[in-house]
Chain A
Amino acid sequence: MKQLMLGNTAVARGLYEAGCCVVSSYPGTPSTEITEEMAKFDEVYTEWAPNEKVAMESAFGASLAGKRSFCAMKHVGLNVAADPLFTVAYTGVNAGMVIAVADDPGMHSSQNEQDSRHYAVAAKLPMLEPADSAEALAFAKAAYDISEEFDCPVLLKMCTRVAHSQSVVETAPRQDVPARPYEKNIAKYVMMPGNAIRRHPFVEDRMARLAEYAETSALNRVEMGGTEVGIITSSTSYQYVKEVFGDSVSVLKLGMVHPLPQKLICDFAAKVKKLVVVEELDPMVENACRAMGLEVSGKDVLPILGEFSQNLVAQCLGGEVHTGKALEDVIPPRPPVMCAGCPHRGLFYTLSKNKCTVLGDIGCYTLGAVAPLAAMDMTLCMGASISATHGFNKALGSESQGKTVAVIGDSTFMHSGMTSLANIAYNQSNSTVIILDNSITGMTGHQQNPTTGYNIKGDPAGKIDLESLCRAMGFERVRVVDPYDLKSCDAAIKEELAVDAPSVIISRRPCALLKYVKHSAPLTVDTDKCKSCKACMKIGCPAISIKNGKAHVDNTLCVGCGVCEQLCAFGAFQSTKKEG
């Protein structure tokens, strides 16, 4: 049956149809939905792992055991999982193993714009890159065949526009893939130097065989049209090229972006007058063409930054560019903001008020850096808040210790914060770490994690107790505050910064968007009491604005958290009782 399907859902469908049995991932936009969709299939064991490295190693273990396995991550997640990646390339697999990595050109929801294709080259692994949902489904299945034929994990590269676009797919039933027996093979799977040195030639030989495979694989195809211009492209760039030029140009559409089919590329180049590579981010294919001695155009006309679109491709390559009319008015931007009732708000307000230096981390709470709170000095990568605070304090000593804090979410703490905390406990910096425990992985859309007590299906699971964990690491000062209670937040931060010992503050309240969270009635403003002092505007709540000089609460947004009420010296905010 034909149906409209999200790219990520289509990957999941392909994995399912290919008989995938074990899935382990850490959420990350734009890869998250693949794993969420896998969790809906009863035949597949699916889990959220604490981080991508753990996920990849779990998936490898399942492959070693003889079952087709899978893990998914965003581009920066592959940095975390790079360690197993480079050596799984040596051991190879038993049953098929597929690794999805989702890039985010344009950085819709990411801290950098790295191009994951470099990993395929560096780790010497094949990489497939679909251009729509139908290909996402088909390539996920093809990836297992390649994985088992060539004895290697296969990288499936997504990008935001393929992952988060729906297009038409046709589904098929699940294949029954018998488990491969596990056989002890020390030479293949124990990567100590004496064995690894014998696996390296296998890796090089495999690349040569994969390159041969790429020459004739249906994953790569030539669509001959006009021969003035020949375009080599893949993924969503292919769609923009077809949108702008249709059949007026010839296209070599790559479905396998590593290794590249050199002969196919040379034959294609010979059939066209001018060769152009259209690829987002880095000039990987372009450089490979040049290394083959081909005259080629690419990043000389197309940008290395951001996402492409049909107008951009048309503008750079001489197609029809569409234009529209804009208003002369300056349209104010609408950046993402912390939600009304977000438990992080009270904590960041307190940090801002105390003029703390805040080394932050990756999550919704990175929005604490946005005005008017502007209570963040640094965000780098998962877990860096704690390790960087340690280094910061070691460098500056008493100059920074009394005012510098690390801020990290519960899920990010589980992901990479624990080892950083161990460094503080071990090397004893006088650092204060604030764990924002909102009982969920928020930014990627509410995934469970090891601190929530539930698994990916919402069933009860093991629950790691943050207080006990921190104490077990040697922290004597561990305390819990409610971020809706500004007075106790202020006291906790002042006290922990003042003492001469490392400390952990757990700021605990569930995300306001969680379905089970009961909200209070919206507040209203008594305009007679409001003195227009705008103290309530310092917290950047989207529900509060100034109307006719007085504070105003939008009752469709307000969840009655009461943080603004605590800031008002004149008692202008009033709780309304909920009827019925």
Chain B
Amino acid sequence: MKTKNVMIVGVGGQGSLLASKLLGHLLMEQGYDVKVSEVHGMSQRGGSVVTYVRYGDKVCSPVIDKGEADFIVSFEVLEAARWLSYLKPDGQIVTSTQQIDPMPVIIGAAQYPEDLVNKMLTAGAKVDALDCLALAQQAGSAKAVNLVLMGRLSKYFDFSDEAWQKSIEACVPAKFLELNKKAFELGKNA
């Protein structure tokens, strides 16, 4: 199989590492060669962060480049827009509708562009946007946005529900398992 590419983008501290861990586990269990590239260190401090997940028969590069992503999973709208040029022409965006102002916007040095979801649609991208923060809060914690997004993403894959559940159990601490499973379901069925 040709290598498939999933980018997970967001703001440092939003929980993208758990999302990539879950996805990596799932894809390994399906027997694929997998590479996951993460961001550690300074950029994590509220900056724009990106994680690359690649899978297939044999994966070479650990990163995803412009025009290569089959999926962009985004925790925040501006971040989805920032990485749009990394999407394949027929790629799919799955994004939370949450907006977090970056510091240049907070201090008035820049504007947060309006209506980004529609602009991405107009640019020809397939966009599945939903209020993941509200769904995460409904599941019991604002921190479960990552599992809401993974639940949503699962709709676009052919993997069994059992396989997803198994990977969630393997990656999430037992204490938060029910909450995260609920968040996954809410994302999937929203």
Question: What are the interface flags for B42-75 relative to A under an 8 Å C-beta threshold, 1 for contact and 0 otherwise?
Answer: 1111111000000000011111011111000000
Contact A338 B45 (CB under 8 A): yes
Is B62 within 8 A of A336, CB to CB?
A: no
Contact mask A30-63 → B, CB, 8 Å, 1/0?
1011000000000000000000000000000000
- B92-106 contact mask (Cβ, 8 Å, vs A): 1 or 0: 000000001111111
Which of A218-226, A320-328, A400-408 interfaces with chain B? A320-328
Across the interface, do B123 and A164 meet the contact criterion of CB distance under 8 Å?
no
Cβ-based interface call for B173 (8 A): no
Nearest chain A CB to B122's CB is how many angstroms away? 9
Q: Are A243 and B60 in contact (CB under 8 A)?
A: yes
Q: Which residues of A lie under 8 Å from residue B109 when comparing CB positions?
A: 371
Q: Which of B78, B85, B116 contacts A334 (CB 8 A)?
A: B78
Q: Which of these, B24, B28, B33, B123, contacts A325 with CB under 8 Å?
A: B123
Closest residue to A242 on the B side, CB-wise?
A: B60
List of B residues within 8 angstroms of A192 by Cβ:
none
Contact for B85 among A108, A166, A168, A326, CB less than 8 A: A326
Kindly supply a per-residue 1/0 record for chain A positions 311-349, scoring 1 wherever the CB is within 8 Å of any chain B CB and 0 otherwise. 110000000001111110111111111110000000000
Question: Is B119 among interface residues, defined by CB-CB distance under 8 A?
Answer: yes
In the complex, A113 Cα to B103 Cα: how many Å?
26
How far is it, in angstroms, between the C-alpha of A242 and the C-alpha of B44 when the chains are bound?
Answer: 30
Chain B contacts for A109, CB-based, 8 A: 40-43
* Least distance between A174 CB and chain B CB atoms (Å): 24
**Complex Cα–Cα for A309 and B123 (A):** 25
Tell whether A327 pairs with B84 under 8 Å between CB atoms, given A334-B11, A334-B78.
Answer: yes
Q: Does B165 contact A (CB under 8 A)?
A: no
Q: Does A124 contact B (CB under 8 A)?
A: no
Contact A330 B113 (CB under 8 A): yes
Give the interface size bracket for B toward A. Answer: 35 or more
Tell me whether A336 and B42 are in contact (CB under 8 A): yes
Assess the B34–A332 pair: CB atoms within 8 A.
no
Minimum CB–CB distance from A525 to chain B (whole Å) comes to: 14
B134 within 8 A of A: no
Asked whether A91 is an interface residue with its Cβ less than 8 Å from the other chain, the reply is: no
Q: Give the tally of cross-chain contacts (CB within 8 A).
A: 193
Bound CA–CA A32/B41 (angstroms)? 9
Q: A427 at interface (Cβ–Cβ under 8 A)?
A: no
Kindly state the separation between the CA atoms of A546 and B106 in the bound complex, as whole angstroms: 7
Inter-subunit contact B36/A335 (CB<8 Å): no
Q: Give the contact-size bracket for chain A.
A: 35 or more
CA distance A322 to B34 in the complex (A): 21
Q: How far is the CB of A284 from chain B (nearest CB, A)?
A: 22
Could you say which of B78, B107, B111 contacts A540, with CB atoms under 8 Å apart? B107
A364 at the interface (CB under 8 A from B): yes
| Nearest B residue (CB) for A342 | B45
A262 to B: closest C-beta gap in Å: 28
- A167 to B34 CA separation, bound complex (whole angstroms): 6
Contacts of B48 in A (CB 8 A): 333-334
In the complex, the answer to whether A335 meets B38 with C-beta atoms within 8 Å is: no
Give the chain B neighbours of A310 by CB distance below 8 A: 60-61, 63, 65, 68
* A166 B107 Cβ-Cβ under 8 A: no
Would you call B66 and A336 a contact (CB within 8 A)? no
B123 with A336: CB separation less than 8 A: no
Whether A542 touches B37, Cβ cut-off 8 Å, given contacts A4-B24, A242-B60, A334-B47, is no
Q: Does B81 contact A (CB under 8 A)?
A: yes
Which parts of A84-115 form the interface with B (CB within 8 Å)?
108-109
Looking at the assembled complex, report how far the CB atom of B89 sits from the nearest CB atom of chain A, in whole angstroms: 8
- Residues of chain A contacted by B68 (CB below 8 angstroms): 310, 322, 324
Is A556's CB under 8 angstroms from B142's CB? yes
A444 to chain B, nearest CB (A): 7
**Residues of A with C-beta under 8 A to B45:** 336-339, 364, 367, 443
Which residues on the B side are within 8 Å of A335 (C-beta)? Answer: 47, 102-104
> Which of A30, A161, A162, A336: most chain B CB closer than 10 A?
A336
Decide: B119 and A329 in contact? CB cutoff 8 A: yes
The CA-CA distance from A165 to B12 in the complex, in Å, is: 17
Contact between chains at B24 and A337 (CB < 8 Å): no
**For the complex, what is the distance from the CA of A546 to the CA of B116, rounded to whole Å?**
20
Whether A327 contacts B46 by the Cβ 8 Å rule is: no
Q: Which residue of B lies closest to A309 (CB)?
A: B65
Task: Confirm or deny: B177 has a beta carbon within 8 angstroms of a beta carbon on chain A.
Answer: no
User: In whole angstroms, how far apart are the Cα atoms of A570 and B53 in the complex?
Assistant: 49
| Chain A residues with CB under 8 A of B69 | 324
CA distance in complex: A556, B98 (Å): 12
A161 partner residues in chain B, CB cutoff 8 A: 37, 62-63
Most buried by A among B40, B67, B109, B113: B40
B41, A540: Cβ atoms under 8 Å? no
The answer to whether A327 and B116 have CB atoms under 8 Å apart is yes
Q: Which residue of B lies closest to A328 (CB)?
A: B119
Please state if A166 and B120 are interface contacts (CB–CB under 8 Å): no
Whether A311 lies near B42 (C-beta < 8 A) is no
Is there contact, CB below 8 Å, between A168 and B84? no
User: Which chain A residues border B101 with CB–CB below 8 Å?
Assistant: 545
Bound CA–CA A236/B125 (angstroms): 31
B111 touches A332 (CB 8 A): yes
- Contact between B102 and A334, CB atoms less than 8 A apart: yes
Interface residues in A107-139 by Cβ distance below 8 A to B read 108-109, 132
| A30→B43 CA distance, assembly (Å) | 12
* A166–B41 CB distance below 8 A: no
Quote the shortest CB–CB distance from A291 to chain B (angstroms). 30
What's the nearest-Cβ distance from chain B to residue A497, in Å? Answer: 28
CA of A310 to CA of B37 in the docked complex: distance in angstroms?
14
Question: 10 closest Cβ contacts across the A-B interface?
Answer: A109-B41, A29-B41, A322-B67, A336-B47, A332-B110, A165-B62, A334-B102, A324-B67, A324-B85, A336-B45
Residues of B at under 8 Å CB distance from A?
Answer: 11-13, 24-25, 28, 33-48, 59-63, 65-69, 78-79, 81-82, 84-89, 100-113, 116, 119-120, 123-125, 142
A-B contact pairs, 27 of them (CB 8 A): A3-B28, A4-B25, A30-B41, A32-B40, A108-B41, A132-B62, A162-B62, A164-B39, A167-B59, A236-B61, A236-B62, A243-B60, A310-B60, A310-B65, A322-B88, A323-B85, A324-B68, A326-B84, A330-B113, A332-B104, A332-B110, A333-B48, A334-B46, A334-B103, A335-B102, A336-B42, A336-B43
Listed in ascending order, the chain A residues whose CB lies under 8 Å from chain B are 2-4, 6, 29-30, 32-33, 108-109, 132, 161-162, 164-168, 236, 239-240, 242-243, 309-312, 322-327, 329-339, 364, 367, 370-372, 443-445, 537, 540, 542, 544-546, 554, 556
Known contacts A325-B87, A327-B119, A332-B112; 7 further A-B pairs (Cβ under 8 A):
A6-B38, A167-B34, A322-B65, A333-B104, A336-B45, A537-B106, A540-B103
